[in-house]
């Protein structure tokens, strides 16, 4: 008897389970889809908190006035807040952005529409900025720096912190010419500046010493002349000095320098946290600064000129990138500089000093001024109490100049200038022999021409083959201290 097959088992179909997709990892985002996106919905509140604070101040000042007057003031200010919130909502609603094939497009405007396109091939830097209020709300601002720009182009304020990092990675990948879903480049921390080293450097700065001497002098004068107004009259000056010191501490707090394929990454800030990237090849010139009181600890400061960053303070009141290291032992600073100029040994470059007749113009500092060059960089040193060492790579100078005033012409002296992009570093070799200065200028012009002929395009996300692979030591506040 043949076996009968079992009857088929009938199963009741279950509806498919719909799961929310996992958030894409940073660098693999939906930002490459070409669709429109809006800023974070909390953007109007993050932007308008200053208006609310001003309203509260006005209400507090008028709290002691008549009830009727206070009511009218409250109604007017409440109406102003309501109008501001409505306008802020409309501004957020009409602000949208998207990534196109070769650009980032940003459309803004309520009454007057404005559309901006930032070409990705001109992208110099993408910074993530987190002001205090935005950080409390979990938001961040994305700022784009382009070649030849005088301010940040198409700033996106505000995005969620994750979306800001995601969009930054996507833009860097597009600018590098790699696939849009490429993950963000890994990094290796080179230097972390501890708070005690930063505080120590500020205490040993000239402005702090001046403030202490001023306070002692004012207190002594007030006691000696029995006139406290001497001290009170200087309070605004003391407040300004204290504000400057706190701003320096807040700006460089928890300063971290890390190395990645897309350049050196800088993270710092107490009240406003900034994540910046110094791309490979974008550093045009740098300066090593060592004040007199830092020598016992062997500390130095490193400032840079970065292509694409305008100098000084931007329209939003924040400073541009200019400090590569606020304080570090010299050996650590040289290790970081080795990432900027791979294969360059600054201490091995032979330097030529000034002629003796330059002492009539520089009676104190003329023995310490010198300049020289090797196959990669030009170096200029000067200063006795505040030592400064300027370094510029061949081919990075925008122009070369030789200047000499009436007195210098009388002494047969001239100053060689190697003009860089805007920034704190002004590379020059002062008070050289006039004939020697002309020879330095011509030799440097030939080095620059040769360097430009050999130069290859620098791209984002492209590691430099000759860069060292080991990390520089984390800053030790006691490192380099003299016995």
Q: Is 416 helix (H, G, I), strand (E, B) or coil?
A: strand
Considering Cα of 20, then 24, then 30, then 36, what sign does the dihedral take?
positive
**148-132-273 Cα angle (round to 5):** 50
Using DSSP's 3-state secondary structure scheme, residue 475 falls into: coil
Both 34 and 173 in a single domain?
Answer: yes
Tally of CA atoms within 13 A in the half-sphere of 300 that contains its CB: 21
> Is the domain of 346 the same as that of 480?
yes
Boundary residue ending a domain (149, 182, 215): 182
274 and 415 together in one domain: yes
pTM above 0.95, yes or no: no
Asked if residue 350 is part of any domain, the answer here is: yes
Contacts for 150 with CB less than 8 Å, ≥ 6 apart: 310
* Beta-sheet strand order (sheet of 427-433): 399-403, 413-419, 427-433
**333 and 469 share a domain?**
yes
Cβ atoms of 369 and 356 within 8 Å: the answer is no
Domain boundary among 139, 166, 182: 182
pLDDT tens, N- to C-terminus, the chain (483 residues): 444 444 443 333 433 333 334 444 444 456 666 789 999 999 888 887 766 666 666 666 655 555 555 677 677 777 777 877 788 888 889 999 998 888 899 999 888 888 988 888 887 778 899 998 889 899 999 988 776 555 666 789 899 999 998 898 888 878 776 666 666 778 899 999 999 999 999 999 988 898 888 888 887 877 777 777 777 777 888 888 889 999 999 999 999 999 988 788 999 999 999 998 887 778 899 999 999 999 999 999 999 998 766 555 444 444 456 899 999 999 999 999 999 999 899 999 999 999 999 999 999 999 999 999 999 999 999 999 999 999 999 999 999 999 999 999 999 999 999 999 888 999 999 999 999 999 999 999 999 999 999 877 665 555 443 444 444 445 554 444 433
Q: Tell whether 426 is covered by a domain.
A: yes
- Indicate the helix (H) or strand (E) that contains 324: strand 323-329
Same-domain pairing of 420 and 294: yes
Q: 295 and 158: one domain?
A: no
Extract the tokens encoding 234. Answer: 């200087």
Residue 5 to residues 1, 2, 10, 131, 159, Cα–Cα distance (Å)? 13, 9, 15, 73, 63
CB 170 within 8 A of CB 29: yes
In-domain check, residue 204: no
The verdict on residue 243 lying in a domain is no
Q: Do 376 and 344 form a contact (C-beta atoms < 8 A)? A: yes
CA distances from 55 to 62, 136, 210 (A): 11, 21, 38
Question: For the chain, how big is the Rg over CA atoms in Å?
Answer: 29
Bridge partners of 235, per DSSP, are none
Q: Is residue 133 located within the same domain as residue 278? A: no
Cα–Cα distance between 190 and 463 in angstroms, integer?
16
Q: Which residues are bridge partners to 146 per DSSP?
A: 123
Question: Which of the listed residues 182, 208, 227 is the one where a domain comes to its end?
Answer: 182
| Same-domain status, 296 and 163 | no
Cα angle at 383 between 447 and 353, to 5 degrees?
Answer: 50
Q: 162 with 278, same domain? A: no
Residue 450 counted as domain residue: yes
Task: Report the pLDDT value the prediction gives residue 435, as an integer from 0 to 100.
Answer: 96
DSSP 313: B
* Six token digits for residue 201: 């450097």
Task: Name the residue among 170, 141, 169 with its Cα closest to residue 154.
Answer: 141
CA-CA distance, 287 to 305, in Å (whole number)? 9
Cα three-residue angle 100-104-108, rounded to 5 degrees: 115
Is 116:153 a contact under the CB 8 Å cutoff? yes
Total structural domains in the chain? Answer: 2
Indicate whether 165 and 306 sit together in one domain: no
Confirm whether 235 is domain-assigned: no
306 and 429 both lie in a single domain: yes
C-alpha to C-alpha distances, 191 to 165, 256, 295, 474, nearest whole angstrom = 22, 6, 20, 4
Domain that holds residue 376: 270-483
55: in domain? yes
Give me the CATH number covering residue 170. Answer: 2.30.29
Is 275 found in the same domain as 176?
Answer: no
């Amino acid at each position: 008897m043949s076996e009968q097959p079992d009857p088929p088992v009938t199963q009741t179909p279950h509806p498919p389970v719909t799961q929310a997709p996992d958030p894409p990892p940073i660098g693999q985002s939906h930002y490459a889809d070409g669709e429109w996106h809006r800023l974070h919905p909390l953007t109007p509140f993050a932007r308008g908190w200053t208006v609310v604070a001003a309203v509260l101040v006005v209400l507090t000042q008028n709290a002691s006035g008549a009830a009727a007057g206070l009511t009218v003031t409250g109604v007017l200010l409440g109406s102003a807040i309501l109008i501001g919130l409505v306008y802020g909502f409309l501004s957020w609603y009409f602000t949208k952005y998207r990534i196109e094939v070769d650009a980032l497009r940003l459309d803004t405007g309520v009454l007057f529409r404005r559309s901006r396109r930032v070409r990705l091939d001109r992208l110099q830097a993408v910074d993530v900025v987190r002001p205090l209020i935005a950080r409390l709300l979990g938001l961040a601002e994305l700022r784009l720096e382009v070649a030849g720009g005088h301010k940040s182009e198409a700033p996106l304020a505000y995005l969620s912190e994750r979306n800001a990092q995601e969009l930054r990675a996507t833009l860097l990948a597009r600018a590098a010419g790699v696939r849009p879903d490429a993950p963000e480049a890994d990094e290796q921390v080179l230097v972390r500046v501890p708070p005690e080293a930063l505080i120590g450097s500020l205490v040993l700065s000239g402005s702090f010493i001046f403030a202490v001497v001023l306070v002692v002098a004012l207190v002594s004068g007030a006691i000696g002349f029995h006139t406290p107004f001497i001290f009170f009259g200087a309070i605004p000056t003391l407040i300004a000095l204290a504000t400057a010191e706190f701003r320096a501490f807040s700006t460089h707090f928890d300063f971290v320098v890390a190395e990645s394929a897309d350049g050196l990454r800088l993270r710092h800030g107490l009240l406003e946290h900034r994540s910046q990237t110094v791309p490979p090849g974008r550093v045009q010139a740098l300066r090593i600064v060592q004040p007199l009181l830092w020598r016992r600890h062997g500390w130095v400061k490193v400032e840079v000129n970065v292509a694409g960053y305008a100098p000084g303070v931007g329209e939003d009141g924040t400073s541009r990138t200019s400090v590569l290291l606020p304080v570090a032992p010299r050996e650590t600073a040289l290790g970081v500089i080795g990432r900027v100029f791979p294969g360059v040994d600054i201490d091995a470059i032979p330097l030529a000093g000034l002629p003796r007749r330059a002492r009539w113009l520089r009676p104190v500092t003329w023995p310490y001024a010198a300049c020289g060059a090797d196959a990669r960089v030009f170096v200029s040193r000067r200063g006795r109490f505040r030592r400064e060492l300027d370094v510029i790579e061949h081919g990075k100078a925008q122009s070369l100049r030789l200047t000499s005033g009436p007195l210098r012409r009388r002494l047969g002296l001239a100053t060689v200038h190697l003009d860089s992009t805007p920034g704190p570093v002004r590379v020059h070799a002062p008070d050289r022999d006039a004939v020697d200065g002309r020879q330095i200028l011509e030799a440097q012009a030939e080095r620059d021409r040769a360097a430009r002929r050999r130069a290859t395009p620098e791209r984002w996300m492209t590691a430099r083959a000759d860069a060292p692979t080991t990390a520089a030591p984390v800053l030790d506040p006691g490192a380099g201290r003299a016995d």
